């Protein structure tokens, strides 16, 4: 049957679209889960006939209860690999125990610099000359897990959020699928905080 991927989203879903447009990844996407109703990412999933579900935190007593609900929804669908693509919810330990070393996240900065939800703006405010994109394995701490891939982006003297963010997105849309393909091909080797991509990507 091969890997079954869940993509977790909270917004417009441009990174989800990059995965749906990748011929090596799309057949493995089993479900798209959002913590918010009505977001464009759900429409992107439906247009590709991918199951789209909404699980909101409201009505659940705490983060652990919400984490368990998300975990159980994915396990019920035989998911074994998870991609966080603009998912703005922090999940608890039981989730990462269920999908150990099989959860990827894309972050719009060169971690460990500028973690959190405002990385592009934070990099600009700090005056850095270089920022970038990180794809990392996810653990219980926010933007903390072992780094799989990174790519630097020059910050120009006249950059604003409006000019820098599209360049960041363009790199995200390349880097995240590359990391997902490596994970699907079992080419990701993890030793503590060190991640190595084994061998070359198979050619079609």
Residues catalogued as catalytic: 107
Where does 22-156 show beta strands of DSSP type E? 29-34, 51-54, 81-84, 103-107, 130-137, 147-154
Helix (H, G, I), strand (E, B) or coil at 183: helix
> Encoding tokens for residue 154?
């020059």
**Residue in the structure block whose two tokens are 């394995």:** 137
Greatest CA separation for the chain: 50
> Is the separation of the CB atoms in 99 and 81 below 8 Å?
yes
> Encoding tokens for residue 32?
């798209």
Give the single-character DSSP code of 11: S
């Amino acid at each position: 049957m091969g890997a079954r991927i869940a993509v977790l989203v909270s917004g417009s879903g441009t990174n989800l679209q990059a995965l749906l447009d990748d011929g090596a990844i799309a057949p493995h996407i089993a479900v798209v889960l959002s913590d918010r109703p009505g977001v464009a990412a759900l429409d992107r999933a439906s247009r590709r006939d991918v199951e789209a579900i909404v699980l909101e935190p409201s009505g659940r007593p705490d983060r652990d209860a919400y984490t368990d609900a998300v975990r159980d929804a994915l396990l019920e669908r035989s998911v074994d690999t998870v991609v966080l693509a603009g998912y703005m919810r922090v999940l608890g330990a039981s989730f990462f125990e269920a999908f150990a070393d099989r959860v990827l996240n894309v972050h719009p900065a060169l971690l460990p610099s500028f973690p959190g939800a405002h990385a592009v703006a934070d990099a600009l405010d700090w005056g850095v000359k270089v920022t970038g994109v990180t794809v990392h394995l996810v653990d219980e701490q926010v933007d903390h897990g072992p780094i799989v891939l990174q790519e630097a982006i020059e910050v120009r003297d006249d950059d604003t959020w409006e000019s820098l963010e599209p360049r960041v997105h363009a790199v995200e849309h390349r880097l995240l699928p590359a990391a997902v393909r490596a994970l699907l091909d079992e080419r990701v080797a993890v030793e503590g905080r060190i991640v190595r991509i084994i061998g070359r990507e198979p050619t079609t």
